[in-house]
Amino acid sequence: MKKTRILSSTSFLLIIVIWCVITYGGLVAEIFVPSPTAVIRKICESSADGSLWANCWISTKRVMIGWALAAVIALPCGMVMARSQAFNALMRPIMEFARYLPVVALVPLTILYVGIDESQKYLIIFLGTFFQLVLMIQDTVSGIDVNQINAALTLGASRTQLYKDVIFMAALPGVLDDFRMTIGWAWTYLVVAEMVAASSGLGYIILKSQRFMGTDVIFMGLIFIGLIGLLTDFVMRVLTRIIVPWYKRLGDA
C-alpha cells in the first residue's frame, strides 16, 4: 500500500521534473512549452477573475449530464440485450454500426437538429459514450454467474424480480467499472463538443488559445481536465467501494 503510493507519486514527480528541466533549461522555446511559472501565473490570474472555475464548472456539467443520460438509457438496454436474443438481434447491428461513427462527423448534424445551445453539447457527449456503454454493459451482464440466475429462478423469482434483485445486483460491480471508464471517454468528447459553436468551457479556451499561441492557457486547460478526470475517477472508486462492498477485485488493497 505504502509502496504503491510512493511509486505513483514518483511517476508524477518525474513528469514535473522533466517539464522543469526542458523549460528552465531552455531546451525548448517558451512559446511551445510554457514554464511551470508561466502556467501557475495563468492559473492564478484566471482563478482570481473566476473564469477558470466557471469554465471548469460548465465543462464538468456538460460531461456529467451528457454521460448520465447515456448511462441511464444504456443500462436497461444493455441488460435486456444480454438476456434476450431477440432484442440483441434487433439492437446489435445498430449499436455496432453507430459506435464506429466518429462523433466529430456528427457535429454538423447535431447543430442542424438541436441548434447550438447546451443540449447540443449534451447530445455530443451522449453520442460519444452511449453505444460503447450499451455494448460494455451487455458484456458485463452476459458474464454474470448463470448459477445465480438459476438459483433465483428455482427460488421463485419472477421476471422483474430476476432483473432487479439478481441480474442488476450481480452485474453492478462490473457496471460501475464500465461507468468509470466511459466517464473518462466523455471528457474526450467534451473537447469535440466545445470545438464548434461554444463560448465557454475548458475545451473552448484550449482551442481559442491556439490562435494566439497561448500555450500557457492550453497547458492550464489540459492540467485541469486531467485533474478533474483524476478526481472523478477517485470519486467513482470510492463510490464503488461504498455501493458494492462485497466485491473484491484483483489488485485491490
Partner 1 sequence: MDKLTVSELNKVFSARQGDVTALKDVSFSVRESEFAVIVGPSGCGKSTLINIVGGLEDKTSGSVMISGHEISGPGADRGMVFQSYSLFPWLTVQKNVEFGLKMKGVPAKERSETALSYIDMVGLNAFKDALPDQLSGGMKQRVAIARTLANDPEILLMDEPFGALDAQTRMLMQESLADITGRTGSTVLFITHDIDEAILLGDRVLVMSRRPGTIKADIDIKLDCKRNHEALTDEGFIRIKKQIMTLLWEEMDVKGESK
Question: Site residues for partner 1, window 140-159 (CB under 8 A)?
Answer: 145, 147-148, 150-158
- Cell 521534473, residue located: 17
Q: What is the spatial distance between Cα 229 and Cα 202, in angstroms, rounded to a whole number?
A: 13
| Segment 169 to 198, residues that bind partner 1, using CB under 8 A | 169-170, 172
- Check binding of 166 to partner 1 (CB under 8 A): yes
DSSP state of 173: H
Which DSSP category does 129 fall into?
Answer: H
Q: Is the Cβ of residue 147 or residue 199 nearer to partner 1 in the bound state?
A: 147
Q: Does 210 bind partner 1 (CB under 8 A)?
A: no
Residue 182 buriedness (CB in 10 A; 0-12 / 13-18 / 19+): buried
In the complex with partner 1, the residue whose CB is nearer, 14 or 151, is 151
Residue 247 binds partner 1 (CB under 8 A):
yes
Q: How many CA atoms lie within 13 A of 170 on its CB side?
A: 22
Q: How many residues bind partner 1 (CB under 8 A)?
A: 22
Eight-class DSSP state of 178: H
Cα–Cα distances (Å) from 88 to 83, 92, 95, 121, 128, in that order, read: 8, 5, 10, 29, 21
Mark residues 215-244: x for contact with partner 1 by CB under 8 A, - for none: -----------------------------x
- When binding is defined by CB under 8 A, the residue of 246, 249, 251, 252 that contacts partner 1 is 246
Binding site for partner 1 (CB under 8 A): 145, 147-148, 150-158, 161, 165-166, 169-170, 172, 244, 246-248
